[in-house]
Structure 1
Amino acid sequence: MTRLPRLPRPPLSAAPGTPAVPAPPRAADRVRTITTADGAALRVLVRGPDDAPLTVVLGHGWTLGSSTWERQTAALTDPARPGPAVRVVRWEQRGHCGSTLGTRPLGIDLLGDDLAAIIDTLAPTGRLVLGGHSMGAMTIMALAAERPDLVRDRVAGVALVATAAGRLDTSRPGFPLRARATGTAQRLIMGALARLPREADRLRSLAPPRLGAHRAAVRRLLFGRDADPLRVRECAELVHGCPAAVVAGYYGPLMRHDMTARLAALRDVDTVVLGGGADRLTPVRCARALGRALPGAEVRILPGLGHMLTVEAPDEVSGVLLRMCAA
């Protein structure tokens, strides 16, 4: 059996409450820093020729990092891939893996502004394909809401992976009792993290990511039944390296966000929605609802897989992006 390449391992935060120190980039990546209007420094990785006719921009999810797109980046920039060259741009979301937070309150619309700044700086012309996992896909939805002309004029395809357009807060009325109890417990935990982030980071430092209990929790929350233990460990390290203040800071915006009525710009774009049949964070209902909001989109549910489709089903996700690039 062919072993997939290992994700780069991110060292843990140098101090409680600070962004995780990024892993060294791969030799093929060029590192750029884009400073936003509110002073956030976004760490960006670029692979492929700068004069490529097509740029693929990939956004990662909450508590994770751009390394979760490594397999897709390798496939898209493989010299043996037929067709014109492709450039891939990945970035670390605010507060993650070396990107700083800036001064504006965290929110999904803010992340859409960050994506716009990255495109305006690194890909001001030419065709685009956009891929987002979880919060990264919500970032693309925010860009489509704020910059519809950019999306309609330049975007050739969009892959929305393991994500939701809204209704993630299950503590509200209308959800089953068990889901409401789980949602309420999550809200209380995140409230405690927001109040005591440094204390939470110190406590987490006593339980390293290699600890079996931590990996088991990540596996249950993020992966399907037959997940590769190596992939689980890599994601457990990413989650462990995300500061408590960042984890808690994004929770409220994620629960409140609702892009369902703001997706008009994506309705005429080649869009594929991928969902995991065993996803606990953005369950199948979220993929189905996104498909109803985007009637022209293709919705694929991958049975037995969890939230981490970019690493659980790398070939499936790569295939969607490769097809969009070829088209």
Structure 2
Amino acid sequence: MEWLIAAKPVVLLHAFPFSPEMWAPQVAELEGRYTVYAPALPGFGGREPGAASLEAWAEELGEALDDLGFEEAVFVGLSMGGYLAFRVWDLFPERVAGLVLADTRAQPDDAAGKAKRAELAARVRSEGTGVLVESFVPSVLGPGTLAAETEEKRAVVEWVERWVREADPEGVARALEALAARPDSRPLLGEIEVPTLVLVGEDDTLTPPADARAMAAAIPDAELLILPGAGHMANLESPEAFNTALLGFLEKVYGG
């Protein structure tokens, strides 16, 4: 256990339909201070698609933590990564030292949302991931980022568009099916007994600040931070604010 505390593990769970590459601004800040594990989820980052089940992904993640020797860790999940973090808490809460829930929500898809994901999965399988670029990219980035008035903002738009186009169609389709099938995590919120930070971009329209406020209010002693000038991909759109909040939280969990 002394080694574990010294290692200070942090697990970064990426968003749909990206890969661990999206965490580059955070990894650059965390490395040297914490032991960072940013896995590629099934079907992303060159991995073969797996089961269309977040619970199966969580079980696989638990096995990876065993291999790494991590008895527990702080889990940082953004969007789909947050949905997976809830499954981790549900399956093995004893392994969770803390939670950062970024631009995510606890409620499941409604019937219309499930139908939309099923339709999109079918289109991606037949037409490729290019079909996501026109509609999906504007939905995950805030207006300030989409305006691309600075070199940094232009780079974020380019990264997101490239990552979407490069994603594996079958991996994307199975992830869409897994997201549609995810259970309601709201019953878990009141049971979360570890330090929790809820982060959300002020311009996030997919998992808006209202959802983040409700989620934070339901988790005992959770902290809530709304990041100005950021949309759904807050870690990329407002990396300095995101990193400051994340580092401050990790210091509270693990000590300075």
TM-score by length of 1: 0.66
Q: 2:3 matched to 1:55?
A: no
Q: 2:110 matched to 1:162?
A: no
Q: Which has the larger share of helix?
A: 2
Deviations along 1:304-324, one digit per CA (max 9) or x if unpaired, are 421101101112222232123
1:111 pairs, out of 57, 60, 71, with 57
Identity of aligned residues (%): 28
Q: How does 1:257-268 map to 2 (within 5 A)?
A: 257=182, 258-263=184-189, 265-266=191-192, 268=193
Paired residues, number: 242
Q: How does 1:74-89 map to 2 (within 5 A)?
A: 74-78=28-32, 85-89=33-37
Q: 2:135 matched to 1:189?
A: no
Tell me what 1:200 maps to. Answer: 127
Alpha-carbon distance, 1:218 to partner? 4.7
Q: How does 1:29-108 map to 2 (within 5 A)?
A: 52-78=6-32, 85-102=33-50, 105-108=51-54
Alpha-carbon distance, 1:117 to partner? 1.7
Name the SS for the 2:38 alignment partner: strand
Alpha-carbon distance, 1:254 to partner? 1.6
Tell me what 1:221 maps to. Answer: 139
Please tell me whether the aligned partners of residues 52 and 87 of structure 1 are also in contact (alpha carbons under 8 angstroms).
Answer: no
Name the SS for the 1:226 alignment partner: helix
Alpha-carbon distance, 1:265 to partner? 5.0
Alpha-carbon distance, 1:291 to partner? 1.6
Q: 2:97 matched to 1:124?
A: no
Please tell me whether the aligned partners of residues 121 and 172 of structure 2 are also in contact (alpha carbons under 8 angstroms).
Answer: no
Quickly say closer, same or farther: Cα 1:200–1:50, change in 2 above 3 A. Answer: farther
Name the SS for the 2:35 alignment partner: strand
Quickly say closer, same or farther: Cα 1:288–1:325, change in 2 above 3 A. Answer: closer
Name the SS for the 1:91 alignment partner: coil
Alpha-carbon distance, 1:139 to partner? 1.2
Alpha-carbon separation, structure 1, partners of 2:242 and 2:179: 23
Alpha-carbon separation, structure 2, partners of 1:58 and 1:192: 29
Alpha-carbon separation, structure 2, partners of 1:222 and 1:308: 6
Alpha-carbon separation, structure 2, partners of 1:283 and 1:246: 26
Alpha-carbon separation, structure 1, partners of 2:42 and 2:218: 28
Name the SS for the 1:132 alignment partner: strand
Please tell me whether the aligned partners of residues 145 and 265 of structure 1 are also in contact (alpha carbons under 8 angstroms).
Answer: no
- Structure 1 letter corresponding to 2:139: L
Alpha-carbon separation, structure 2, partners of 1:141 and 1:184: 19
TM-score by length of 2: 0.83
Quickly say closer, same or farther: Cα 1:129–1:51, change in 2 above 3 A. Answer: closer
Alpha-carbon separation, structure 2, partners of 1:92 and 1:240: 17
Name the SS for the 2:48 alignment partner: coil
Name the SS for the 1:143 alignment partner: helix
Please tell me whether the aligned partners of residues 218 and 236 of structure 1 are also in contact (alpha carbons under 8 angstroms).
Answer: no
Tell me what 1:252 maps to. Answer: 177
Please tell me whether the aligned partners of residues 133 and 161 of structure 1 are also in contact (alpha carbons under 8 angstroms).
Answer: yes
Q: Which runs of 5+ in 2 are unaligned?
A: 146-152
2:83 pairs, out of 134, 138, 155, with 138
Tell me what 1:44 maps to. Answer: none
- Structure 2 letter corresponding to 1:163: T
- Structure 2 letter corresponding to 1:87: T
Alpha-carbon separation, structure 2, partners of 1:185 and 1:217: 16
Alpha-carbon separation, structure 1, partners of 2:109 and 2:229: 21
Quickly say closer, same or farther: Cα 1:113–1:97, change in 2 above 3 A. Answer: same
Q: How does 1:147-158 map to 2 (within 5 A)?
A: 147-151=92-96, 155=97, 157-158=98-99
CA RMSD of aligned residues (A): 2.7
- Structure 1 letter corresponding to 2:204: D
| Runs of 4+ that moved beyond 6 A | none
Q: Which runs of 5+ in 1 are unaligned?
A: 1-48, 79-84, 172-182
2:162 pairs, out of 226, 237, 241, with 237
